[in-house]
């Protein structure tokens, strides 16, 4: 159907296509008539929220008639202590996704530019285009590199110019699972001019076990143009509550809070996030499960003749050696949801979240059946 009002929308909005999330379980049930579905499409924690977080949610339901704390005082204090910064350096968001959009709204506009890597998180492109700014997309590292399809920092630096205002760096990157070491990333940030804000997206930070992988939030104090985003949607298992935050210098935080909606995070989300930070045992279980199962699934996929990009996240980018869409559809009929990534420029790949042992067994059995057919 033609949208007769599209010409009234802002120029940057007219060419946008809405973000396509992983297919919901209820949608697959309606469309395919299947049940007992395994969803491995959205990089969620298969263990769910921490027990302390669930208890905090239950306790907070008694005050649902009241607006949440618009400034998230208690949560910001806890996050500031964790990152060794002042509370004024923390901005809370409706998932880290909202922080990425707020950054684009704050620093971009027509005639200005943003730089990001090919095969990087799709929201970067959406946030930039909505502002009417110019995209500068750097070529990714080649397939044969140790970090296949990952960020080529030299290629990204070459695109930075006088009109650049934002550079997005995902570490680890989604959907590839590739990562940047401390020396390379810190050197890249240090060489950017003062008029450029660099956003290091660390949504999958908690899963990484590589010794050389950095905590970029430790560099904020000496880099006023650095912003680090984190989320409670992944390792903390709170995707439904939408809670994220940014660590930055107070100047950037002040700008973000000028356009941040006053009640953008709920009381339940704030209470759950605060409790999740304290439940370190659950986080450790989640990270250990992911480490063990990601290795197992990667080895099994390789045994099926598929290619697997080395990943430090809670997902694997798998090369199906052929167009991936028919395999994705066949897996849906086996009641297994994974994620096609043709929209990331990877039409022969599927992104597969790491689930529980039982969920991964279902995935591998379905993959074997589909490939054999």
CA atoms of 72 and 128, how far apart (whole Å): 27
Q: Among residues 21, 1, 251, which one has the least CA distance to residue 121?
A: 21
Task: Spell out the CATH class of 9-48+281-372.
Answer: alpha beta
pLDDT in tens, 198-254: 999 999 999 999 999 999 999 999 999 999 999 999 999 999 999 999 999 999 999
Interatomic CA distance for residues 12 and 126, integer angstroms:
9
Fold identical between 9-48+281-372 and 51-278?
no
- Segments making up each domain of the chain, as ranges: 9-48+281-372, 51-278
- pLDDT grade, residue 24 (50/70/90)? confident
Beta bridge partners of 339: 351
What's the pLDDT tens digit per position in 268-322?
999 999 999 999 999 999 999 999 999 999 999 999 999 999 999 999 999 999 9
**Candidate CATH numbers 3.20.20.140, 3.90.76.10, 3.40.640.10, 3.40.50.970; the one for domain 51-278:** 3.40.640.10
Burial label for 223, CB within 10 Å (0-12, 13-18, 19+), is middle
Rounded-to-integer distance, Cα 370 and Cα 373, Å: 5
Strands 244-248 and 90-93: antiparallel
State the Cα torsion 232-238-241-244 to the nearest 10°. 0
Q: Is 338 within 8 Å of 363 (Cβ atoms)?
A: yes
- How many CB atoms are closer than 10 A to CB 190? 12
User: Model pTM?
Assistant: 0.92
């Amino acid at each position: 159907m033609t949208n007769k009002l599209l010409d009234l929308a802002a120029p940057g909005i007219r060419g946008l296509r809405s973000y396509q999330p992983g297919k919901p379980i209820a949608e697959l049930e309606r469309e395919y008539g299947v049940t007992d579905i395994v969803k491995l499409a959205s990089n969620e924690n298969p263990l769910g929220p921490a027990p302390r977080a669930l208890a905090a949610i239950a306790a907070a339901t008694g005050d649902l008639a009241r607006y949440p704390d618009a400034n998230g005082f208690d949560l910001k204090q806890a996050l500031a202590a964790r990152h060794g910064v002042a509370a004024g350096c923390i901005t809370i968001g409706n998932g880290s996704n909202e922080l990425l959009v707020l950054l684009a709204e704050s620093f971009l506009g027509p005639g200005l530019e943003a730089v990001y890597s090919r095969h990087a998180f799709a929201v970067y492109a959406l946030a930039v285009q909505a502002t009417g700014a110019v995209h500068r997309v750097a070529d990714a590292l080649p397939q044969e590199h140790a970090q296949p399809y990952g960020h080529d920092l030299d290629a990204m630096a070459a695109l930075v110019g006088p009109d650049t205002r934002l550079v997005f760096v995902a570490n680890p990157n989604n959907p590839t699972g590739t990562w940047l070491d401390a020396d390379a990333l810190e050197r890249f940030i240090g060489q950017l001019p003062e008029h450029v804000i660099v956003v290091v997206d660390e949504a999958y930070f908690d899963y990484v076990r590589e010794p050389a992988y950095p905590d970029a939030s430790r560099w904020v104090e000496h880099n006023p143009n650095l912003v680090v985003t984190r989320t409670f949607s992944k390792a903390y298992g709170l995707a439904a509550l939408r809670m994220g935050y940014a660590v930055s210098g107070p100047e950037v935080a002040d700008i973000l809070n000028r356009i941040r909606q006053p009640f953008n995070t709920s009381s339940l989300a704030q209470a759950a996030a605060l409790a999740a930070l304290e439940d370190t045992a659950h986080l450790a279980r989640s990270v250990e499960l992911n480490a063990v199962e990601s290795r197992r699934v990667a080895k099994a996929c390789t045994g099926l003749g598929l290619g697997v990009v080395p990943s430090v996240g809670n997902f694997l980018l798998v090369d199906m050696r052929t167009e991936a869409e028919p395999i994705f559809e066949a897996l849906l009929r086996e009641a297994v949801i994974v994620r096609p990534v043709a929209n990331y420029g990877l039409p022969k790949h599927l992104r597969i979240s790491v689930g529980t042992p039982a969920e991964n067994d279902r995935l591998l059995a379905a993959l074997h059946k589909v490939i054999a057919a």
